[in-house]
Amino acid sequence: MGIQERKEREKERRRQQIIVAAKKVFSDKGFNKATMEDIATEAELSPGTLYLYFKNKEELYASLSLRILQYLNLRLAHVNKDADLPPDKKIDGLLEAMHDVYDFDPMIIINMFHLQSSETLRNLSPEVMDEIKELAGSSIAAIAKIFACGIKQGAYIDQHPTALADIFWSLFSGVILWETSKNVIDKKKDYLKKTMDLAFKIFINGISK
Amino acid sequence: MGIQERKEREKERRRQQIIVAAKKVFSDKGFNKATMEDIATEAELSPGTLYLYFKNKEELYASLSLRILQYLNLRLAHVNKDADLPPDKKIDGLLEAMHDVYDFDPMIIINMFHLQSSETLRNLSPEVMDEIKELAGSSIAAIAKIFACGIKQGAYIDQHPTALADIFWSLFSGVILWETSKNVIDKKKDYLKKTMDLAFKIFINGISK
Amino acid sequence: MGIQERKEREKERRRQQIIVAAKKVFSDKGFNKATMEDIATEAELSPGTLYLYFKNKEELYASLSLRILQYLNLRLAHVNKDADLPPDKKIDGLLEAMHDVYDFDPMIIINMFHLQSSETLRNLSPEVMDEIKELAGSSIAAIAKIFACGIKQGAYIDQHPTALADIFWSLFSGVILWETSKNVIDKKKDYLKKTMDLAFKIFINGISK
Amino acid sequence: MGIQERKEREKERRRQQIIVAAKKVFSDKGFNKATMEDIATEAELSPGTLYLYFKNKEELYASLSLRILQYLNLRLAHVNKDADLPPDKKIDGLLEAMHDVYDFDPMIIINMFHLQSSETLRNLSPEVMDEIKELAGSSIAAIAKIFACGIKQGAYIDQHPTALADIFWSLFSGVILWETSKNVIDKKKDYLKKTMDLAFKIFINGISK
DNA sequence: CATGAATGAGGCTTCATTCAT
DNA sequence: AATGAATGAAGCCTCATTCAT
């Protein structure tokens, strides 16, 4: 029993160890340039070991998205928990959550798009694919719920909450992507946070009546 | 000589033939999964021929971005040409241009991000890199100019026009990316245009006083 | 640990296995005609494995030169060890060493020239390049030292020992090269050893007072 | 008649034009790194044209050796023409001829060895191969004849003249090869001529009674 | 479970050669 | 005869994955 559990925990710890390493390597080099050996080295494991915990490179990659989506979900659930919170407070919570998600792993957000983009591979096992779908879906739903609350109270324009959520998420990821790519191109200073704040402000303003 | 000219035209036609094929293949498979042989086959040419027109895979890839950026630039220049146009007419022109850019090549927008992302390699010749930088820069500048006009007239909030342009562009590309990836995930219907319209509406509303 | 050591030895054995195969294939076909696949097949390994032991084709190639230079160095050091040996005995030792070097690997001498010729590429890692330089240098120095001894004792003409060493080495390699190429051209019998003996005799005679 | 002849001459001129270009390119880059396009560009012709004059790359390459061997033959024939010249004068002529051969085209001598070495290809047409064999043979024979003369007069040691000629040629080419490769390795000053003089002096001294 | 050496398929790219103009 | 665009075979090398220890 106890021994079973400890094994379980150890196994999970290993998984995390690999995920952390993978996050770093994928962030530094991107999916294709990152090699399994890079990740193994970073995790201080051997390449073979990675395959004991992840079916293949793509599934390992997908796990990162899962991880951040789980975190996002958690945060959004927390915001929605208190049903009586006034809309603007909820919005505050939402924005704070988004900032934290970004801080949680700035680069992985970018990689998530590669994952979702056509480039990425259909080799994902259905289970992982399903889990991603579900988490992404429930994240959007949670955001939509926040907006729905404001709409119901007449604070926001009367649009489908999910559409607003999609746009909000698009804005969030678009800004990260664009500001980051500007840095690659220009090496100038990193205005991301300020730009993000302004973007959110415009968005909230834009949906307010 | 007429003969000289015809050769020139033929050469350009070949380039286009390759670009069209590359666009299709890159869009279908993404940069890394697409092989030069795929593209050659699609273009009904031999692999070696591609290298007569493009230095390497990445430069061929970059050419696609160049092409769409050139188109965007052209359209935006047109909008800015008439200095006396009222801000809201200019905005109309801007939105129309963005729609057309998307129609011009929906998938390539997505690939542009791969190009700019950290994943992308420095094998690009400096000239091509410079040209991309310049075109991207002048596109943003043109968009900023449109907003600047509205700001000066007191129609829009007093923020740095370039920041607004960055956010606008982020929103545009974020929506494309997100809606596209939703389709990959969900295979549901394509709400992109409607979502984009709403996104733009919110944005304009958001920056209006 | 014994286990550590055995692995070390096995790894070295593999290296040798590859080197032996490479020697054969390079000797048969020359650098450019020899393919890595040829070598892998000869070594009964897969192509990828070669790259676990050698950075690239050129470095594998260079290793062969290194190996023979190391052997030459060893032999020459041995000759020079006994400082009191009379000059003619040292010359005997030198000639014997040269013969053995040739026996050690007749063809590789020829390939060494390809390595050094302008044709050869700079893909060699600096370390390997340095090592070759150093070994070649110390070989020549060792030969020069032998001659210097004879010069000091008034047995040989008073010329810079290094110049004599260069000429001696040139003669040695020139004879190998020429006799070998005659065989390619003519397929006649192999007079190399006899020619070499005569060449050395003339040389020694030529530098004697 | 005249028209036929002129065409013949023009064709020969073209051949020479190509040979000159090939000499330069092969000398700069070596056989494998030199491309037919390089040569065509240097000759201000198109790649296709080269194939009107030479069957393939290798045969073009072989022509260079032919050319220098022809020159050497000519010079040696001249030395041997005057049968009554005393041996030491003939040697002077020989040495002078060798120096001129080197000046005629320093690098091509080196390439000749690549040509003759195992690396080089059996693709040569039999005619070209035969011609090379013949020219090389008659050059050696001419050199041997010079030595034979001295042997008969009792000035040189009694060895087979052809063996001496082989060794002489080996020495000559060995010095060129070695000094050149030293330069590649060391980038130091070019001592070739001085070394060559000393080498010849030692050789002559060595074969003298 | 962990290892890490070995695999081998497959990609990008070059370039000698051809052939329609 | 000359051209030069097109060909396509072939080479080097990488790296995800496996498997004997």
* Domain edges within chain D: 1-54, 65-207
pLDDT above 60 (res D116):
no
Which chain A residue shows the shortest CA-CA distance from B208?
A206
Q: How far is A57 from chain B (nearest CA, A)?
A: 15
- Model pLDDT for residues B147-164, shown as the tens digit of each residue: 999 999 999 999 999 999
Contacting chains of A (3 CB pairs or more, <8 Å) are: B
Q: Which residue is nearest to nucleotide F3 (CA to C1')?
A: D46
Calpha distance B145→B139 (Å, rounded): 10
Q: Average pLDDT, stretch C112-117? A: 60
CA distance linking residue C195 with residue C175, whole number of Å: 8
- All residues at 6 or more sequence positions from C204 whose CB lies less than 8 Å from its CB, including other chains: C91, D206
Options 3.40.50.1820, 1.20.140.10, 1.10.357.10, 3.40.50.10490; CATH of A65-207? 1.10.357.10
d(CA B98, CA B100): 5
Q: Which residues partner with D156 through β-bridges?
A: D208
Which one of B136, B167, B206 has the shortest CB-CB distance to A175?
B167
> CA of C178, closest CA in chain D: separation in Å?
6
pLDDT at D39: 97
The distance of A58 to chain B (nearest Cα, Å) reads: 13
The DSSP line for D40-100 is HHHTTS-HHHHHHH-SSHHHHHHHHHHHHHHHHHHHHHHHHH-TTS-HHHHHHHHHHHHHH
101-130 in chain B: CB under 8 A from chain A: 107, 110, 113-114, 116-121
CB contact under 8 A, C203 and D207: no
- Statement: residue D108 has pLDDT above 60: yes
Of 3.40.50.2000, 3.20.20.210, 1.10.10.60, 2.60.40.420, which CATH number belongs to C1-54?
1.10.10.60
Predicted TM-score (pTM) of this structure: 0.86
Q: Does the pLDDT at position C182 exceed 80?
A: no
B179/A174 Cβ within 8 A: no
The closest CB to that of B170, out of A31, A178, A194, belongs to: A178
Q: Return the closest-CA partner of residue C74 out of C104, C43, C97.
A: C97
In 3D, which of C117, C135, C101 has the Cα closest to residue C32?
C117
Contact D174 C170 (CB under 8 A): yes
pLDDT of residue C1: 52
Residue D19: pLDDT band by 50, 70, 90 thresholds?
A: very high
Q: What's the token pair of residue C77? A: 């050091």
Query: Cα A196 to chain center, whole Å?
Result: 16
Given pLDDT bands bounded at 50, 70 and 90, which one contains residue A91?
very high
Question: Is residue B178 within 8 Å of residue A173, measured between CB atoms?
Answer: yes
Look at A74-78, B185-189, C142-146, D180-184 and tell me which has the smallest mean pLDDT. Answer: B185-189
Distance B51 CA to F8 C1' (A): 13
What gap in Å lies between CA C26 and CA D189, rounded to an integer? 32
Rg (CA), chain C: 19
Is the pLDDT score of D119 beyond 70?
no
Please report the pLDDT score of residue C151 as a whole number: 95
pLDDT of residue A16: 92
Distance CA A27, CA A61 (A): 11
Q: Which residues contact C131 (CB under 8 A, 6 or more apart)?
A: C66
* Tokens linked to A194: 């300020």
Residues 2-21 of C with CB under 7 A from strand E: 7, 10, 14
- How large is the average pLDDT for residues B42-62? 95
Does the structure show a pLDDT above 60 at B64? yes
Whether B51 has a pLDDT exceeding 90, the answer reads: yes
Q: Does the beta carbon of A169 lie under 8 angstroms from any beta carbon of chain B?
A: yes
Evaluate whether A1-54 and A65-207 have a shared fold. no
Asked if residue D35 keeps its beta carbon closer than 7 A to nucleic acid strand E, the reply is: yes
Spell out the long-range contacts of B75-81 with Cβ–Cβ below 8 A and sequence spacing 24 or more: B75/B100, B75/B101, B76/B139, B76/B142, B76/B143, B76/B146, B77/B142, B79/B142, B79/B146, B80/B142, B80/B145, B80/B146
pLDDT band at D181, cuts 50/70/90?
confident
| pLDDT given at position D48 | 97
- Return residues with beta carbons within 7 A of strand F: A 33-37, 47-48, 51, 56-58; B 7, 10, 14, 45-49, 51-52; C 34-37, 47-48, 51, 56-58, 123; D 11, 14, 45-49, 52
Report CA(D87)–C1'(E6) in Å, whole number.
Answer: 66
Encode A43-53: b = buried (16+ Cβ within 10 Å), e = exposed. bebeeeebeeb
pLDDT at D198 over 90: yes
Give, in Å, how far the C1' of F11 lies from the CA of D56: 20
Residue B156, SS3 per DSSP: strand
Percent of chain D predicted with pLDDT > 70: 88
Q: Kindly state the tokens that stand for A14.
A: 């290993």
Mean pLDDT, chain C, rounded, equals 87
Taking contacts as CB-CB distances below 8 angstroms, the residues of chain C near D177 are 113, 117, 170, 173-174, 177
Whether residue C198 and residue D167 make contact (CB cut-off 8 A), yes or no, is yes
What pLDDT sits at residue D154? Answer: 92
User: Using 50, 70 and 90 to split pLDDT, how confident is the model at B188?
Assistant: low
Are C177 and D173 within 8 A, CB to CB? yes
- Nearest CB to C175: which of D107, D167, D205? D167
Q: Which of B49, B37, B47, B40 is nearest to B11 (CA)?
A: B49
Lowest mean pLDDT across A132-136, B49-53, B114-118, C26-30? B114-118
Q: At what angle do helices A87-104 and A57-81 cross, to 10 degrees?
A: 160
- Evaluated on CA atoms A98, A103, A105, A106, the torsion sign reads positive
Position C183 scores a pLDDT of 66
Residue D29 contacts strand E, CB under 7 A: no
The answer on pLDDT for A126 being more than 90 is no
How close A151 gets to chain B, by Cα (Å)? 14
